[in-house]
Amino acid sequence: MHTSPTEAAPKSLNPPGADDLIRRWQASRDERARDRLVRIYWKHMLRHARGYANKWRLDEDDCMQEAGLGFIRALETYDFVSASLEAYAGLWYRAKIGRLRAQDVVTTSLNGLNNSGRVYRASTKLRKLLGRDATPAEIASEIRTIGPGQVIAALETMTMSRRIVSTAKMLGEDLTVGDLLRAPEGQRPDVLAEGKMDTERAREAIIAAASQLKPRYREVLAHRLVRGLTLEETGQLVGVTRERIRQIEAKVLLRLRQALASDVAAMDLIGRAPIA
């Protein structure tokens, strides 16, 4: 059946201009179009993130991040005839933030998490009415759909969730828990700081050992190990033969080895006791 030329086009479910921006993003991943859509729906994302953060007792920043990821996913899969983008994105917000909620309590099922929410609301209501904490039986009677055993399990889940630390929690002026969890082992801020300290200790131990060498030996050490010159190039700079440089280098390395072997800090770096 063909559409009559005079038949009006279906009315858009989205704000003016949004449909064109969505098509541009879906067709060519136009980042400018995506950024404009984010600005248009920012308050919508923020309202959902804050709502779920309060309802499920999650960190607001974490919820906002997940809502943003959900919005991008909604843009990729949105179908214009299914619903408005606002309604469709709302489903993705809940899905993304719901997974964040499930990650907070790893061993709890989704049904258990829902029970926790109902128990929390019922216990808060009863505390106001009774002036004390309600018993599991009283809470179960208020909810009606779960028994006292499920109430106890939900209360245990709530107790455990209070011990969970958000990844946004600050550990210092510019360090969060998330920085430690997300970074690879070699790039973690605490590991980098420890490595920097070890490097400084090694440097001090080597300087202390090198200070015991004769000036000429230190010169050979600089040319060979620091500048990377050959035996012949070093010999020309120092004014001796290639073979003499090899002999001096052997003595330099032996002296350094002996000095470092008796240095407590140097041997501690490689997990060995100083050699007597």
Between residues 174 and 12, the one the model is more confident about: 12
Burial class (CB in 10 A: 0-12, 13-18, 19+), 104: buried
How far is residue 275 from each of residues 212, 240, 257, 258, 262, measured CA to CA in Å?
Answer: 18, 34, 11, 9, 6
pLDDT value at residue 41: 93
- State how far the alpha carbon of 246 is from the alpha carbons of 26, 170, 232, 239, 255, in Å: 68, 55, 9, 13, 14
Identify the bridge partners of residue 170 per DSSP, sorted by sequence position. 176
Task: Please tell me the predicted confidence (pLDDT) of residue 268.
Answer: 65
CA 83 – CA 77 distance, rounded (Å): 12
Q: How is residue 71 written in tokens?
A: 């919005």
> What tokens does 85 get?
């983008």
* Residues 120-146, mean pLDDT to the nearest whole number: 85
169 closest CA partner among 158, 180, 184, 157: 180
Name the residue among 63, 66, 39 with its Cα closest to residue 52. Answer: 63
pTM to 2 decimal places: 0.39
pLDDT at residue 50 tops 60: yes
- Looking at residue 164, its pLDDT comes to 46
Structure tokens at 191: 């590991």
Q: Is the pLDDT of residue 144 over 60?
A: yes
Give the tens place of pLDDT for each residue, 167-200.
555 545 555 555 544 445 444 444 455 555 556 6
Write the DSSP string, 75-127. HHH--TTTS-HHHHHHHHHHHHHHHHHHHHSTT--HHHHHHHHHHHHHHHHHH
Burial class (CB in 10 A: 0-12, 13-18, 19+), 139: buried
